[in-house]
Structures are given as structure tokens and as C-alpha cells.
Structure 1
Amino acid sequence: MTNWLPDLSAGEGPLYLKLAQSIEAAIDSGALPPGEKLPAQRNLAFDIGVTLGTVSRAYALVHERGLVAGEVGRGTYVRERKAHTDTPTGGIRSLAGTQPFEAPVGKLRFDATGAPHVGQAAVIEAILTKVAADHPTEISDYTRSAPGHWQEAGALWMARAGWTPETEGIVVTQGAHAAIVSVVTAVTAPGDRILFENLTYSQVARALSLMGRRILAGETDAQGLVPDDFERICQQQHPAVVFLMPTLQNPTLAAMDRARRETIANLARRYNVLVIEDDIYGVLLNDTQPMLASLAPERTFVISGLSKSVSPGVRGGWVSCPPHFAARVKIAHKMLTGGTAFLLAECAARLVLSGEAKAIRTRVVAELQARETLARAIFEGHTFRSLPQIPFLWLQLPEPWLSGTFKAAAFDAGVLIDGEDEFKAGRSDKVHHRARIAFSNHGSDDIRRGFQLLRNVLDGGVAGYDSAS
């Protein structure tokens, strides 16, 4: 056993965190090599003058990080650390286990759909500076009330296709995801069933599953949710809420025509199902089909925000609620998120009310159109769905590619993409042999290079991909 003792003068935070950081640094430097036994917790606590609880918490933390292994009766030992060629940290992963929080070194991210960089940083910087100057007290305190112009901005941004939400029904949120989860929390209880399309924005389905809601998946076609299957599920499973993206479905790019929307709205009314209409991509399109909220206003919540069209980092989001639901959703949002950040909400409102958000959206759409044109040229000969204003395409994989195998081959080639499993609301035996290629990140050179790398993988076929043994 080594005579190593930690240096608690470095690092930040409470003592247990400093101790954990010191242990990790010693492992990284080799001062604590693989197989080395750490000091007994009680002895170390005495030697460095801290409580036994402090040492126990630090040891638990480095154990969670996979740096050490504890054996009852034998002590705590430094684990052998595997070499990683892609990233020094081995890729910290999300709860879903499908996406790293940051791209590994040398990899291009084609798995994110936030608004591309079109110079919005300078505009946002100017607005944030002005907000700080105008509201020094508000940005240094908790947000205790929402100024009326925050709701006005939401109503202005969400108005579309002849539909304008009532300002008093608008709730300001920390982005679209928080809006969706807040609505479901406000109108359902644990154990209630929430219906999604079988391919959907699955992260919200997973979040709701963690909160005790039961997830259902409905069959889809080229227009989204199939009405007959919706009715069957309503009769047999009695969902409380259905989550839909009728204008632009992620990842399939399905879109409902007027007749389909009317049928879905009538079924929701007949079976008393509340509707969440996710319109986050709708603001990028000039779609003239009626909103579900105009067909079933008494039961439809509309979700929108700035992430796809202006800037995901602003976290600007709004939900338009049916009459008498806004107060419940607002309280649920506060309980779930801790409350709206004044700085971000004020920034989002000023972006919209000043017209800057609309101007940025115009530049974003132009950039996406150029990238989609490039995608069409490079992937010519392969089958996929895309739209000029939308930051992804839905690629049909040729034989004998499987979605997971193609995703792994793309990763080996240097590109992160999303396979179809990333979008499944739950376990499913249905196989689509598809992958989503998103292209809102990176500059034009990286976009072209990423597309070409993926085209090379497709053309090489499975025979050109040797999976790790």
C-alpha cells in the first residue's frame, strides 16, 4: 500500500469533492497506479484531519466514476483504465446511453438539430448586455413574476396558419422540452398513459417514463399517427394525452393534411384525450394547414420555442394552454425546473418583439436550404426524405445495412448520427432500416466533409465495415 496522501489545498468545492479530485489526479498522474490499494478510510480520515463521512463520500464518488473498485474485507483498489483512442474521458453518456454530451475528439456531430450559426451571437450579446443594464436587480434575484411582454412575445412567435393564441394562456418555459414535461405533469398523474407516435422525440417519452407515466406507441404512415390505430388505442388503453408533431414530424418528416388533422381532433374530443401539439419545427415552414389548436382549442396545448430557428442556448420556450390550464402548467413548470431564468426569458422576449428573432430565422432557413441542397447532391442515388428548411434528412439504408450497424460504421468513419432506435418511444419489434442525418452543426466545410464520409460508408457497404471484435 502506498504512502500517498492527498493535497486538499487544491480543487474547488466541499472537502469530500476536493478529496475525490485529488484521488483522480493521483490516478491520472500515476501516483496511484492500477492495482494500488487506497488507504483505509478511517486511517486516511485521521491522517488528513477530516471526518470519516468525508472520506466515505469521496471514495463513493470515485467509485461511481469507475476509477476504483471496492472489495468487502479487502479494501479499495485503483482500477485498470482502458485506453481510449477517441476521447480521454471515454465519452460521458446521457441517461439514454445513445449520445455523448460532447462529441469525441475528431468526430463530426450530425446528431443535433439546433439552429446553425448565422451570426446570432452578436445580436444576443447586445441584448444580454442591455438586459443586464436595464434590470440589474432582477438578474441577481429569483424570478418572482413574469412581465406581460414575455407572454406577448410568445403569442407573437407562435401565431401561425391563421391561429393566434390568447396571451393570457401563454406560459413561459425553459425551452420546449420543459414545456412538454410541465404540461403532462400538470394534467396527469403517475400511472396515466401518454400516447406517442412509434417514432418520435423519444427523450420526452423517456423523461415521462421516469416520472411514472406509462408510454404507448401508435402506428404511423406518411402523415403521422394513423387514425384507426389512434381510435383502437383510445378504446383499449384510454390514454390521457397524445403527443403529436402534425406540421413536421421528427424524425420522419411526416406531415398531416387538413383531413387527417380534423379526424385526429374529432377522435381526441370523442375519447376525451388532451393533445400536445409540438410546433417547434413549424416556425421554419410556411405551412398553411390548420393548427390542431384551431380545430380543438378546448384540449390542445401548443409547444414552441427558439431552439431550431434562432438559438438553442437561449432556452426560449412557450406553451399555449387551453382555457383555465395556464396556472396549473405554470406551477408545474416552476416545481420541475426551479423557475424561469429572468435573463434568458427577457432575452427571448426582446429577440421576438424587436424583430431580431424573425431576421435570424430568415438567415437560418437560408443556411439550411443551402445545406439541404448539398445533401441532395452528395446523396444522389440513395433514398431519403428531406425539406429545404429542415435541419435533417431521414435516410433509408440500402441492403444489407441495419440502423445500428450503420450508426457504428459512421462513428468509425468520424461522424455521429442517430439510428432509428433513438426515436422509438418504447420497445418495438418494428424495423425501419433508417437513420437520421442532422446537419445544423459545423461550418460549410465540415458539412460537406461529413456528408461525403457518410456517402463513402453507404457506398462501401457492410463489406467495407469491420466491427470491433
Structure 2
Amino acid sequence: MTNWLPSLENGTGPLYIRIADEAESAIKSGTLPHGTKLPPQRDLAYDVGVTIGTISRAYALLRERGLVTGEVGRGTYVQGNSDGRVPARDPVTINYGGTRAMVPPPGKLRFDTTAAIDVGQAETVGRIMAEIASAYPGEISSYTRTLSSDWLEAGRQWLSSGNWKPEADQVLPQLGVHAGINAVVAAVSGAGDRIVCEHLTYSQVSRSANLMGRQIALVDSDQNGILPEDFERVCAREHPKAAFIMSSGQNPTLVTLPLSRRKEIVDIARKYNVWLIEDYLYGGMIDDRIPLLAELAPDRTFLLNGLSKSVAAGVRGGWVACPPHMSQRVRVTQKMVSGGLPFLLAELSARLVLSGAAGEIRSKVLTEIGEREALVRQLFAGKEFRSHPRLPFFWLKLPEPWLSGTFKQAVLDADVLIDDEDEFKPARSARVYHHVRVGFSEGRERAISTEGLKTIRRILDQSPLGTSAIV
């Protein structure tokens, strides 16, 4: 076992990140060679003068970076190749891919996803795809060069809210909402420009923007969403080109902006000439009928919605309604960013909507979400969390002394995957919320969700000292 101690005099930001960075430097320099056993977490916490939770998060981060391996009862060891070299780290994977595995380890339950619940939609999707292949063999074997009026009308219907509908000629089909947002960001901004995001949000947008050379400007929020006064401060000081906003059913906090704040945000965006990118993917499921930002400010709002959360994530269908005269620009950037729109995807998405099949599937999905959300309220009674009967996740506050990363690791050790709060931070932030997001849409069997939720509740009632996250 080594006597290594990290120095906390260098660097800024959360202590656990600084400790992990110090350890990584020591591993790369050879100070901590391959096979070295790191100090026990309790001992290191005492020697450095921090909490054991801080050390636990630092060790968990080192595991995520592929630098150490740990086994309960044995300790934590530096991991390397057979010649002692530290495995190379791909900066794109580390900085933008996150720690979420594309394929879960065997036996793990996925509560880190909010994709549409399996209600048997594969049969409907397969039938429609067969019909398309039979009717349009030439289009399937070629590139998509024109946009069918049916594709635009389907998007017009799916993007509508209350009595408001966008004009069909302002609608563009997309490779899902995420790809549509990327196209909009590319259309309205250039390298070095700033995009406004909340301190907690769907961070894949910010990571994509970073890859395109954009910078992120953070805006404060409270229990009712974005604070207009801070939005104005950011606009005045940072001069952003656009703001990414989830107006209803915000991910991960489930906050819905009240009408008064929407109006203030629109006024501020007009004053400072800021484009608004309104992600309505979860809002469309809530259907709260509060006027959209796109309804209040159609001249500067891009509205996006799709099928992934309520119909079929594997279809990747989505649409964006653009401000007047911006459709062609977004269509061009969409092609440049994504390579173009597949005919099969666009036709399948349109037929699902126009035939009524998407609405029927969404109704079944929402019914199942409601049943599972009721189970959440039952199992987590007495705990502080926010949920909605039409959304497939809840935002859980952790009691003392749990930390978000520590709790995520403890739950992972119990074979359940969830998202800690860092997954939703669009930029480096010293803010700590002590929350995790738990999705419950994975799997067709409700019994599987019940099993996973009971596991999470059981660990929530324990002390971190009583879990295998401490090694």
C-alpha cells in the first residue's frame, strides 16, 4: 500500500475532482505505478482532512476514467497495461461520451433511460416499414432530395399545442430532437458563440455545442424554472446567440415555466436579439396547454418535438418548426451536420402520426407511465422528490450524508444504473444539488421496474458507510 497523499493546494473546483486529477497525474508520472494499492478511503479522508464521501466520489471518478479497479474487501488498485502503461484516454469519449455504457453490463437494470416504454409498438412499426418498402423501392435505394408534404403535415400536427399550430412550410423533419437542436445551433451561431443553458439540463446539447466550437453560458433557475432577471444579466454580459430551454417537464428537474416567466423570457430575448430553442419533447407528453415560447415569439423560437419518449426511441423521428425565413437555412445545416435525412425514417414517422398509430401508442405509453409513477409515489413516500404522472423519470433528493456520485455507485453495485446530477451539468460547476434522476421506462414488464425501485429505496435508507461503494 502506498503512502501517497494528494495536494489540494492546486486547482479549483470540487475537492473530489481535484483529488482524482492529482491521482491521475501521479499514475501517469509513475508515482503510482500499475498494481499499486491506493490508501483505504477512511484513512485518506482522515489524512487529507475531507469527508469520506469526497474520497468515495474521487475514487469513483478514477474508476470511470479507467485508471483504477476496486473490489469489496480488497481495496482499490491502479490499473494499467501489462507493461505498466496507463491505458490511453480518448478525450472525446471522456469529455462528451459521459460514463453511461451504451450496452449495460450483464444483469444490470437500466434506470438511466427515459425511452418510450415497450408496449408492443414493434409490430406496428414493422408493418408500416414493410408497406413503405413495397410502395417505394426506388426511394429506399436512393438519397432523399425532396420533402414530402405529408412529412411536413405530420410534423405540424405533432408540434401543435392547444389551438396553436405552426405553418407547414416552417416545419422540417429531423433525425430526432437532438439532431434537430444541433442543426439549429449550427444555423444560428458560429464558432466561439455562446449558447445559454440552465445549470441542470439535458447536457448532451451542450456537449454537442462544445464539439462544434460553441461556448456555454449558464443561467440561474429556481423551483419555477429560469430566473428572468438572471437571463437578462447573462444576455447583457455574455451576448449569447441562442438559449436552450425545456419549457415544460424540464429534464431532469420536471419544472414547467409559468406563463409569466415565458413572457419575460421572450421580451428579454427580443431585447438582446437571442434565438430561443424550445425542446418540447417532454412538454408534449404533459400537454399542459400553457402557451409555448414558439406561440409567444414565433419570430425567434425554434420548437422541437419527436417520438423517442412517447412512441419509439429506435425510430428517431422528430420535427422542428422554424421562425419565418429560417427553414431553408436549418435544412442546409441539417444536411451538413448529419449527412441528410433518410427517406425510410421520414416516411415512417409521418405515417405513424398521420395514421393515428403514434397517438394510440403514446396513449398506451402514458398509461403505463402513470401506473409506474404511482408506484414511485408509493415506494418513496416520506422522501423528497419531484415526479409527474405523464413523465418517465423522477428527481430524487438524497438525504444526509449521501452524495450524488456516491449514491450512484452504491446503486450500481446493487446492479441498477441511474444518473447522478453531474450527468445534467452542461458546464463545469461547483454547485452541488444532492439529487439523482431515476428513469423507469426500461423493460416491458412492470415487475422489473418494481424490483429496481425497491432496490433504490433500500439503499436510500442506508448510510453510505453500510454499502459496497466504500472500498
TM score, norm. by length of structure 2: 0.80
Q: Distance in 1 between matches of 2:95 and 2:430?
A: 24
* 1:433 shift after superposition: 0.3
Match of 2:459 in 1: 457
User: Matched residues in 1 for 2:97 and 2:359: separation?
Assistant: 34
The alignment partner of 1:181 has SS state of helix
Q: For residue 409 of structure 2, what is the aligned residue in structure 1?
A: 408
Aligned to 1:269: 270
Q: How far, CA to CA, are the matches of 2:99 and 2:226 in structure 1?
A: 25
Q: Is the 8 A contact 1:216 1:425 kept in 2?
A: no
- Where do residues 36-115 of structure 1 align in structure 2 (5 Å cutoff)? 79-80=81-82, 95-115=96-116
Deviation readout 1:148-175 (Å, 9 max, x if unpaired) = 1101100011110322001000111100
Structure 1 residue 457, shift from structure 2 partner? 0.5
Q: Is the 8 A contact 1:197 1:219 kept in 2?
A: yes
Aligned partner of 2:167 in structure 1 is 166
Contact 1:114 1:311 in 2 (8 A): yes
Counterpart residue number, 2:126: 125
For residues 21-52 of structure 1, give each alpha carbon's deviation from its aligned partner in whole angstroms, at most 9, with x where no partner exists. xxxxxxxxxxxxxxxxxxxxxxxxxxxxxxxx
- Deviant stretches of 4+, over 2 Å: 78-82, 92-97, 466-469
Letter of the 1:336 counterpart: V
Letter in 2 for 1:417: I
Q: Could you tell me how far apart the structure 1 residues matched to 2:464 and 2:305 are?
A: 40
Q: Which residue of 2 aligns with 1:444?
A: 446
Q: Percent identity?
A: 48
How far apart are the structure 1 equivalents of 2:222 and 2:108?
A: 34
Query: Is the Cα–Cα contact under 8 Å of residues 113 and 439 in structure 1 kept in the other structure?
Result: yes
Give the 3-state SS of the residue equivalent to 2:294 in structure 1: helix
1:325 matches 2:287: no
**Offset at residue 218 of structure 1 (A):** 0.6
Q: What does residue 27 of structure 2 align with?
A: none
Please name the residue that 2:252 is paired with.
251
Aligned to 1:226: 227
The corresponding residue for 1:466 is: 468
CA distance in 1, matches of 2:325, 2:98: 39
Contact 1:93 1:99 in 2 (8 A): no
Task: Specify the code of the residue in structure 2 equivalent to 1:421.
Answer: D
For 1:286 and 1:231, locate their aligned partners in 2 and report how far apart those are by CA, in whole Å.
28
Deviations 1:205-246 (A, max 9, x none): 011011100111110111211101001111111111001011
Deviation at 1:93, TM superposition (A): 8.0
For residues 430 and 439 of structure 2, the distance between their equivalents in structure 1, rounded to whole angstroms, comes to: 25
Q: Which residue of 2 aligns with 1:311?
A: 312
Distance 2:294 2:164 in 1: 8
What is the alpha-carbon distance in structure 2 between the residues aligned to residue 376 and residue 216 of structure 1?
35
| Distance in 2 between residues matched to 1:417 and 1:160, nearest whole Å | 31
Alignment deviations for residues 46-80 of structure 1 (CA, whole Å, 9 cap, x no partner)? xxxxxxxxxxxxxxxxxxx99xxxxxxxxxxx944
Residue 94 of structure 1 deviates from its aligned partner by 8.6
Larger radius of gyration: 1
Count matched residues.
385
Structure 1: runs of 5 or more not aligned: 1-64, 67-77, 83-91
Distance 1:183 1:331 in 2: 10
Q: Confirm or deny: 8 A CA contact 1:151 1:172 kept in the other structure.
A: yes
Instruction: Report Cα offsets for 1:125-170 as digits up to 9, x if no partner.
Output: 1100000000011111111111111011000111103220010001
Cα pair distance change 1:316/1:406, threshold 3 Å: same
Distance 2:81 2:312 in 1: 42
Structure 2: runs of 5 or more not aligned: 1-65, 68-79, 85-92
Aligned residue number for residue 26 of structure 1: none
